[in-house]
């Protein structure tokens, strides 16, 4: 993948997850959500903000492995707490994701939306992990040729030139 395409995808990732974080500000509306909690709203804003931040960092630097692992753990956590609502919505006989279908007594609709948001975030973090392993700091692909590395190590007295 070229540097330009990766950079464009990273900017798109920033915009997408900042937009997702913005959409969370309405999640404490008691007319739509069952037992809305401000802490839950801020957890989702922080979650999407972290993924947006990682996309931004990736444009100029290699994201530290620890930050990627934290993001993976956060994705797994969010998927695990929203999966029961997704399954309930899927098996209810009237699957919906629309805001019109949301009410305090149908919390599975919001959980389904959050499940898909966490799934999209997991795909984004996976892309960032791929970039971390495939793209160097300047955005150029690493060139690793195991055959040349092996030929250097075979005979330490022989000088080997790499092209």
The tally of CA atoms less than 13 A away on the side-chain side of residue 96 is 10
DSSP state letter for 41: H
**Cβ 71 vs Cβ 47: under 8 Å:** no
pLDDT in tens, 74-103: 999 999 988 988 898 888 877 776 666 666
Helix (H, G, I), strand (E, B) or coil at 123: helix
pLDDT at 163: 52
pLDDT in tens, 13-72: 999 999 999 988 777 666 666 666 777 788 889 999 999 999 998 888 888 888 889 999
Among 5, 9, 36, 30, smallest CA distance to 114 is for 36
């Amino acid at each position: 993948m070229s540097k330009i395409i990766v950079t464009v995808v990273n900017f798109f990732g920033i915009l997408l997850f900042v937009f997702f974080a913005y959409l969370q500000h309405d999640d404490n509306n008691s007319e739509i959500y069952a037992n809305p909690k401000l802490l839950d709203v801020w957890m989702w804003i922080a979650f999407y903000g972290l993924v947006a931040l990682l996309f931004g960092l990736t444009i100029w630097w290699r994201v530290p492995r620890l930050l990627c692992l934290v993001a993976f753990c956060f994705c797994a956590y969010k998927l695990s707490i929203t999966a029961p609502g997704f399954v309930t919505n899927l098996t209810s006989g009237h699957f919906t994701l629309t805001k019109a279908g949301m009410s305090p007594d149908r919390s599975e609709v919001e959980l389904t939306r959050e499940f898909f948001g966490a799934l999209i975030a997991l795909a984004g973090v996976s892309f960032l992990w791929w970039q971390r392993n495939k793209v160097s700091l300047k955005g150029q692909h690493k060139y690793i040729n195991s055959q040349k590395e092996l030929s250097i190590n075979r005979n330490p007295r022989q000088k080997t030139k790499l092209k």
